[in-house]
Amino acid sequence: MPNSNATVNSPLIAQTALNTLLAKFPILSRIATDFSSASVKFNQDIVTHIVTPTVAHDFNPTTGYVPDDQAQVDVSVKINKHAYAGYAITDVERSTSEIDLNQRYADKVAYALGRKVCDDLMALIVNANFNNKTELAATAFGRDAVVDIGTKLNKRFIPDMDRFMFVNSDYYNALQKDEALYKAYITPQAGNVVVSGMLPDVNGFAVIEYSALPENGERLVGFAGIREGLIMAARVPDVPANTGDTVIRVVTDPRTGLSVQVRDRYDGRLGKQEVSFTLMYGFAAGNKPVLERITRPV
């Protein structure tokens, strides 16, 4: 039977698409974020915060437990990006298809929107913002290289909790082929790793492949660190009280707080439904020493 009118279940479709976006682009859940479903003006500044590491002290009976002033650093993020992705379905397309075209197209536009957001984020990872780097060829990228990068972070006293490493496909492939890691896979407990091709944590890093990683004109092939290195703020566009024949909803991921505005309009004369997903966002470099760029040789 033909599909029913999509405006009935568009919130559920949009929520599923948002889940797809976050699953396909895990970097968005591993950086410092200030997400809200509130509306915002373009080029508005959002003040967010990151917490810098603290230290412990030897106890002194004379002074007792003297509290330290914790360093919560204010970081201003300008909302200077406004992205959207959308699709249209005609009555003819809907009536001749047995599949849910809205869900199919919604997943595609969610992926496109996530890709746009991540491309804009990756443009921030340049020497001017993060001057710590490790340079090595893909053929030399194995467990030892990951250990060495971890040591660099250790020497900068970067916490070892929730460390991540994003690399392009060539470097991820090289790490998958590392003999030391492969031997670790040959156990009943790790059998699923061999089947799925997904790497487990390597020396405390969650290693994730990002095939679209740009070189940024600096031969960038990856980066490693913790969430305070990169900051993203996101809101939804401001809309008037009367939106005419367009139904506007905001869907929010309960885990990350990321919100996307969904605009759903049906043109009765043309027999066409038009749907778009949109959000406004901006980025800033956070605590610069916590991030290590990985580059290839010339």
Secondary structure (3-state) at 272: strand
| Greater model confidence, 236 or 193 | 236
Secondary structure (3-state) at 37: strand
Secondary structure (3-state) at 264: strand
pLDDT of residue 167: 98
Q: List pLDDT tens digits, range 143-162.
A: 999 999 999 999 999 999 99
**Number of alpha carbons in the 13 Å side-chain half-sphere of residue 272:** 6
User: Minimal CA–CA distance to 236: which of 19, 41, 44, 7?
Assistant: 41
Q: What is the mean pLDDT of residues 61-74?
A: 80
User: Minimal CA–CA distance to 114: which of 29, 188, 177, 185?
Assistant: 29
Query: How would you class 240 by CB atoms within 10 Å of its CB: exposed for 0-12, middle for 13-18, buried for 19 or more?
Result: exposed
Q: ∠ CA 219-222-228 to the nearest 5 degrees?
A: 125
pLDDT band at residue 182, thresholds of 50, 70 and 90? confident
CATH architecture of 1-50+74-125+136-298: Alpha-Beta Complex (3.90)
Mutual angle of helices 101-122 and 10-24, in 10-degree steps: 40
Buried-exposed string 119-128: b where 16+ CB fall within 10 A, e elsewhere: ebbbebbeee
pLDDT averaged over every residue in the chain: 88
**Number of alpha carbons in the 13 Å side-chain half-sphere of residue 8:** 4
Distance CA 114, CA 23 (A): 10
Q: List pLDDT tens digits, range 254-280.
A: 888 999 999 999 999 999 999 999 999
Q: Helices marked H in 55-100 — which ranges?
A: 91-95
pLDDT of residue 4: 40
DSSP state of 161: T
Task: Please state, for a pLDDT cut of 90, what percent of the chain lies above it.
Answer: 62
* Domain locations along the chain: 1-50+74-125+136-298
φ/ψ of 293, rounded to 5, equals -80, 150
